[in-house]
A and B are shown apart, each in its own frame.
Chain A
């Protein structure tokens, strides 16, 4: 792997940028690997990288139906934060945020990480009670949350002109999460892919897994793809919304539903808002990208959905909510919209576990899975390599459903 630096940039500039090496290889598909990871998204690539780096398992194939980093890692709002509610969740997300902050160095790839703080706009008293409770729990685990006055909120976010005393939901106060940030999603996918490839991991794009194969002993034996059968004793499913589509092929039943979460982007404007703004009571959140676009997200569509676009009424509700607090945004033209289908577990917390099919691992149920990529990859690699859950993820197994020991998380988008 050629190291990216000011010197390599200068050297390649002198030769007209014609001699940059490919960031990753496109090797021939073998018929057997030690580990197969299905899905070259954030979690899949991070898992492959940490398998090779931390656990010395480099005979890994990452199989991707479309193109690398084209799934939900390209369909989110790149918000990285750790203001969760449950004792089980917060240490995991604190770890993930910390790993993100060091990722540019770790992968030698500029993540364009921008630690810019998130401000929650509180408009109802029950929400304030919930967030103050979260603040107390977060204090224990070293995450940051503090309350600020309405005047301070308006000083920090001058564009916030709605929500006055006469509004239906006047602003009560703000909650500030200074650990939060945004970065560049493509860089995360490409950085992990390049670093994993350098450690010997093979990435195969345009390789759609059609079904899983069980051996005569009931354990996983490999996968059937559009390019033939590939065998492995360990298979990791990191495909977000299509988890059940794959696990159905070996008769596995999982407590997952697939839903559609969407976002849209405005035209680029001058720098206006330098924090991530989250308005849980109104039902939207946004941040301004480095290019100047407003990246806006709203509530999910509650029904099951495998669509990858935005529903008109979700869009209208989100815009209505946004204009109630930011009336000047009425002038913004919108450029793009997207939706991702992601699966949600029965208790809205992620599942990372070996399934009832020995050797078949799933990482699923991620809502806000983008912020979980580094720690999610590390903990899943630990699980695959050692056969036992990483301490940070030991609560998020399938066993919790068997014992009805749910982790009802309030920090996810769905719980708004």
Chain B
């Protein structure tokens, strides 16, 4: 069970959160981006063997959105808003 650090509530059980998806690239300027760049922005997210950045919603808690870095091999949270875990 993961304990996700919420900036307001502290470390809380994963079951209180809803997964908000991986963090992809920044939105490119639609007028400047080529079709290929736009499709890549829409569909491709980093899929590393290692830390990945993702959002979690403390839906069954305070309602805050949290962005963390989590290792996909171990599920360890390697970086979180309140400094190291």
Contacts and interface: CB of A to CB of B under 8 A. Distances in A.
Interface of A: 244-245, 253-258, 302-307, 311-313, 317, 343, 346, 401-402, 404
B35 interface: yes
Given A302-B19, A306-B73, A312-B1, A257 B42 contact: no
Nearest to A254: B44
Interface in B26-43: 35-36, 39-40, 42-43
Contact of A303 (B1, B49, B70): B70
Given A304-B22, A304-B52, A343-B47, 9 more contacts: A254-B44, A256-B47, A258-B72, A303-B75, A304-B72, A306-B49, A313-B14, A313-B15, A402-B36
B45 interface: yes
A304 B43 contact: no
Interface residues of B, number: 23
B49 A404 contact: no
A303 B56 CA distance: 10
Interface in B42-85: 42-45, 47, 49, 52, 54, 70, 72-75
A210 to B, nearest CB: 13
Give the interface centre of A244, A255, A304, A313 by most chain B CB atoms within 10 Å: A304
Contacts of A303: 19, 22, 54, 70, 72, 75
Interface of B: 1, 13-15, 19, 22, 35-36, 39-40, 42-45, 47, 49, 52, 54, 70, 72-75
Given A303-B19, A312-B1, A258 B75 contact: no
Q: State the 9 A-B residue pairs at the shortest beta-carbon distance, nearest first.
A: A255-B43, A302-B19, A346-B43, A244-B47, A312-B1, A306-B72, A304-B72, A253-B44, A306-B73
Contacts, number: 53
A402 B72 contact: no
Contacts of A343: 47
6 contacts: A303-B54, A304-B47, A305-B75, A306-B73, A312-B1, A402-B35
A58 B73 CA distance: 37
B37 to A, nearest CB: 11
A99 B70 CA distance: 41
A257 B75 contact: no
A312 B13 CA distance: 11
Contacts of B36: 402
B1 A313 contact: yes
A258 B22 CA distance: 11
B39 A257 contact: no
B75 A307 contact: yes
Contacts of B39: 401-402, 404
Nearest to A346: B43
Given A253-B40, A401-B39, A307 B73 contact: yes
Nearest to A243: B47
A227 B75 CA distance: 31
Contacts of A302: 19
Nearest to B40: A253
B9 to A, nearest CB: 17
A284 B74 CA distance: 25
A317 B13 CA distance: 14
B56 to A, nearest CB: 9
Contact of B54 (A256, A304, A306, A317): A304
Nearest to B73: A306
Nearest to B52: A304
